[in-house]
Structure 1
Amino acid sequence: MTRTVVTGIGVVSPSGIGAEEHWRSHLAGELQVRRIEGFDPSSYATTLAGQVRGFAAQDHLDGRLTIQTDRWTWMSLAAAQLALDDAKYDPAAHDPYATSVVLAAGYGGSEFGQREVQAMCGGGPAAVTAYQSIAWFYAASAGQTSILHGTKGPASVLVSDGAGGLDCLGGARRVVRRGTPAVLTGGTEAPVVPYALACLVTNGRMTTSADPLTGYRPFDVDADGYVPGEGGAVLMLENADTALARGVQQIYGEIAGYAATHDAHHHENPAADCRQLARAMRLAIADAGLTPDDIGFVVADGAGTPALDALEAQAIHEVFGERSSRVPVTAPQGFTGRMCAGSTINVATALLALRDGIVPAVGNLHRPGPYQLDLVRQPRELRTDAVLINARGYGGFNSSIVLRRFHEEGES
C-alpha cells in the first residue's frame, strides 16, 4: 500500500504565522483568545475570538488576487505557500497532473459576502461585483490555490464542519494512493465578522464569558462553550517513495490511519452516546495497523461544553480501556479557539510534537473536570511513534486520524 507522508507545514493562526511561531506559542502556553477587535461585538452573546494578528494579505498575495477573494482564502493561499516552501516543492517544476489540492471549508467567504450584500442593499444589483459569485463559495480556496500554482491533479473540497480538517487529509491520502504523488491539503477559516458570528451564536455551543481566561476551556469543570478561531493549516502530503526520490530533507510523519463516522442522530443535537466517535477512533487505529496500546497520546476534539467533553472522554475510555486514565490527552486549541475546517491545525501541532518529543498542554485549562483522563497541564516530554487526533462537526460528524513517525522500509 502506498505510504503518504507530510513533508511541509504551513500555519496561519492566532498563535502565529508559520509553523515554528505557532509551535513556540503553544509550548509557551500563550492564550491568544481576546475580545473581538474588527467590530463592536457587544450586541452578541459571544464577544471573544481567536484572531490572526499581523497578517497582511499584500505580504503574501498579488493585489489583483486579494480584491477577488475573501480573507479566509488569503490565509489559505498563504498557508499553502508556507507548506510548499517548507517542503521545498515547486509545483511548476513538476508535471501539472502530479500535484493536487484537497481542502476543507466551513464558513466560506463571510466577510466578502457580507460586504457585497450590504452594497446591494444600499446601491442595488449594480453595486455588487462579479467576484461575489466566486469569493464566498466554499470551493474558492481550493480553486484559487489550484489556479495560482497551475496544478491539474484531482481537486476537491470537503465540507463537514469541524471534522473537515481531518476529512480532507483522508481524501488527500486517497488521491495519493490513486496515483497523484503530491497534494496540498488542509483548511482555514475567517468567521470573525458580524454575519458569520450571528449565525454561529445560534448553535448554543459558544461561550458567553467576556473574559478570555474564563472563555473556551476544554475539559474544564467550568467550561461553558467555545470561541471561534481564525486561520488553520495547510500541509504538503506526498507519496513516500517519490518524496524520498526527490531528496526531501524532512518528513514530519506518516498519515497512517483515518476513519470517519456519523451519529445519524439529529441535525443539531449531539447523540446521547459516544458510540460513533469511539468507532471512528477504533477504525483509524486499525487502519494504521496498530492497537490502542501503540498510541502515545491523543489530541482531543475538546468541544468545550460539559456534555460534548463528557462524550469524548467516554469514547477515550471505551477505546483505551484500562489504559484510558494513563494515555496523555491534550486539546491545545483552547489557546486559539476552534477553527472549524481549520482543525488541520491540530494535525500540524501533533506532527511538531512527534518531531520534538513534547506534548503541548490543554489550552486554558484551570480546573479539570471529572473525566478521569490524563489531561496534559504543562508541556510534557514524551517520545512516541504514534498519535491519535479527533475532530467532530456540528450535526454528528466524527473523524479520527493516526499519525505515525516515519521509518523507511527495513528501519526499526
Structure 2
Amino acid sequence: MTASVVVTGLGIAAPNGLGTREFWSATRSGKNGIGRITRFDPASYPSTLAGEVPGFVAEDHLPSRLIPQTDRMTRLALVATDWALKDAGIDPAELPAYDMGVVTASSSGGFEFGQNELQKLWSQGSQYVSAYQSFAWFYAVNSGQISIRNGMKGPSGVVVSDQAGGLDAVAHGRRLIRKGTPVIVSGAIDASVCPWGWVAQQASERLTDSAEPTRAYLPFDADASGHVPGEGGAILILESAESARGRGARIYGEISGYGATFDPRPGTGRESGLRRAIELALADAELTPKDIDVVFADAAGVPELDRVEAAALTSVFGVRGVPVTAPKTMTGRLYSGAGPLDIASALLSIEDRLIPPTVHVAADETYALDLVGAQPRPARVRAALVLARGYGGFNSAVVVRAVD
C-alpha cells in the first residue's frame, strides 16, 4: 500500500503577512499586499506594482555570517524553514542527517544578488565581485542553504518550471517520502523584485501596466490586463502519516494527488494540457470531481489564459460546478512560491472551514465559474485542488485533503 504523505509544518512569507498566523488572518479578511514597488524606483518601467514582503529584517533572524552570502529569496526561505520546522515540532539536530532532505523550486534564482555583483564587475572590476556570486544567484541555492543550515544530507533537489515549480517540488518531496526518507522540507520562496529581475519579467508581456493596486490584478474579470508579480511563498514539512502519528505531530492534511502536463506548441490548435493535469491529480488521489470542495486557481490575469483555465474547470466540474478562489489577488503571483502558498491556504481552509476570498475581482459571467468574491465563504472543506501554470506551457495540479 502506498504511504500517505502529510504536511506537519508551515512557514510562510507573503506580501500580506509574515508568518502563518499573520498571513492567514490577512487573507481571511481580504487584506491587500500589492502596492507600488519600494525596493527600487519603478518609474521608468511599464509596470510599477508588486507584492513585497513587509517588515522582514534578515538580521533579526539569521546569523551575520549568512547575510553577505545570500540573496533576499534565500534569507526568506531560511527563516520560513525555521518556522516550518518549529511548527512541525522537529529539531533537525535530533534526527540522523540522512533522514532529512530538501526539495524546493525556483523561477529565477537570486536575481538581486546577481545584479549587485554584475554591477560591481562592470563598474569596479572583477576583484570587487563576491566569491559568493558562484552560488548565491543559482536556482538550487535555497535547497543547498537550507540543507547546510539544518544538517540535512538526505535526497535533495530543485525544480525549475516557473509558477508550476512549487507544486512540482512538493510532488517530488512526496515521492522521496514514499521511497523512505522520513522528513522532507519542500515548497518554494521566490523574490525577484529588482531592476534586473523586473526587466526579465516585463519580457513575458503578461504584466499589467495598471498603477492602481486594487484594479491591477483581476483574474476572471472583464477588465483583466495581466498580473502583478510578487515575492514570497511557503515552506512545508512533509512526513509519512505513519511517522507523524507515531510522534504525535499535528497534521494539517495530506498531499493526496498530483498531475503534471505540458502544453502543445502554440499554433497547433491542440488543447491545453491543464484539464489533463487536473484529471491525473484526481485519479492519483482516487477522488472524483464531486469530491473536490474548492479549487485554488492559477489565475493568470491574462484573458486568453483565464479562458483556458475556466474551460478546463468547467470541462471537469461542470458549469459553476465547484467554488473557485484566487487569494493571490492579495499578494500578486509569487512565481514558484505561489503553489506552495496556495497549498498552505488550502490546508488552513480545511482547518478553519472557510474558503478565502478573491478580492477586487468582479467575475465575468462568461467564464461560467463559481468564483468566491470579496468575502470569505464558510464551507466544510475536505478536499481542495490547487493549480499552477508556468511560462512556456507547464501545468501542475495538486490535491490536498483532510486527514481524520
Q: Show the counterpart of 2:28.
A: 27
Instruction: Give yes or no for the alignment of 1:375 onto 2:371.
Output: yes
Q: Show the counterpart of 2:95.
A: 94
Q: Show the counterpart of 1:326.
A: 321
Q: Show the counterpart of 2:264.
A: 264
The runs of 5 or more residues in structure 1 that have no matched partner are 408-412
Q: Show the counterpart of 2:357.
A: 361
Q: Show the counterpart of 1:117.
A: 118
Give the distance between the partners of 1:316 and 1:340, measured in 2 at CA.
21
Residue 264 of structure 1: how far off its partner (Å):
3.3
User: How does 1:337-348 map onto structure 2 within 5 Å?
Assistant: 337-343=332-338, 344-348=340-344
Residue 63 of structure 1: how far off its partner (Å):
1.0
Q: Show the counterpart of 2:240.
A: 239
Q: Show the counterpart of 2:402.
A: 405
What SS does the corresponding residue of 1:214 show, helix, strand or coil? Answer: coil
User: How does 1:179-194 map onto structure 2 within 5 Å?
Assistant: 179-194=180-195
Amino acid at match of 1:233: A
Give the distance between the partners of 1:274 and 1:230, measured in 2 at CA.
31
User: How does 1:11-410 map onto structure 2 within 5 Å?
Assistant: 11-248=12-249, 250-266=250-266, 274-321=271-318, 324-343=319-338, 344-377=340-373, 378-407=375-404
What SS does the corresponding residue of 1:212 show, helix, strand or coil? Answer: coil
Give the distance between the partners of 1:195 and 1:131, measured in 2 at CA.
18
Scaled by the length of structure 1, the TM-score of the pair is 0.95
Residue 364 of structure 1: how far off its partner (Å):
2.5
Residue 368 of structure 1: how far off its partner (Å):
3.3
What SS does the corresponding residue of 2:361 show, helix, strand or coil? Answer: coil
What SS does the corresponding residue of 1:73 show, helix, strand or coil? Answer: helix
Amino acid at match of 1:27: R
What SS does the corresponding residue of 2:79 show, helix, strand or coil? Answer: helix
Residue 221 of structure 1: how far off its partner (Å):
1.1
Residue 274 of structure 1: how far off its partner (Å):
4.7
Scaled by the length of structure 2, the TM-score of the pair is 0.97
The runs of 5 or more residues in structure 2 that have no matched partner are none
Residue 359 of structure 1: how far off its partner (Å):
0.2
In structure 2, relative to structure 1, the CA distance for the partners of 1:127 and 1:280 (3 Å cut) is: same
Residue 320 of structure 1: how far off its partner (Å):
1.2
Instruction: Detail structure 1 runs of 4+ shifted over 6 Å in the superposition.
Output: none
In structure 2, relative to structure 1, the CA distance for the partners of 1:194 and 1:272 (3 Å cut) is: farther
Q: Show the counterpart of 1:410.
A: none
Give the distance between the partners of 2:390 and 2:165, measured in 1 at CA.
8
What SS does the corresponding residue of 2:101 show, helix, strand or coil? Answer: strand
User: Does the Cα contact within 8 Å between 1:274 and 1:314 map onto a contact in 2?
Assistant: no
What SS does the corresponding residue of 1:213 show, helix, strand or coil? Answer: coil
Amino acid at match of 1:341: S
Give the distance between the partners of 1:358 and 1:273, measured in 2 at CA.
37
Residue 326 of structure 1: how far off its partner (Å):
3.2
User: Does the Cα contact within 8 Å between 1:224 and 1:305 map onto a contact in 2?
Assistant: yes
What SS does the corresponding residue of 2:310 show, helix, strand or coil? Answer: helix
Identical columns (%): 49
Amino acid at match of 1:335: M
Amino acid at match of 1:345: L
In structure 2, relative to structure 1, the CA distance for the partners of 1:352 and 1:212 (3 Å cut) is: same
Residue 188 of structure 1: how far off its partner (Å):
0.6
User: Does the Cα contact within 8 Å between 1:389 and 1:402 map onto a contact in 2?
Assistant: yes
Residue 282 of structure 1: how far off its partner (Å):
0.4
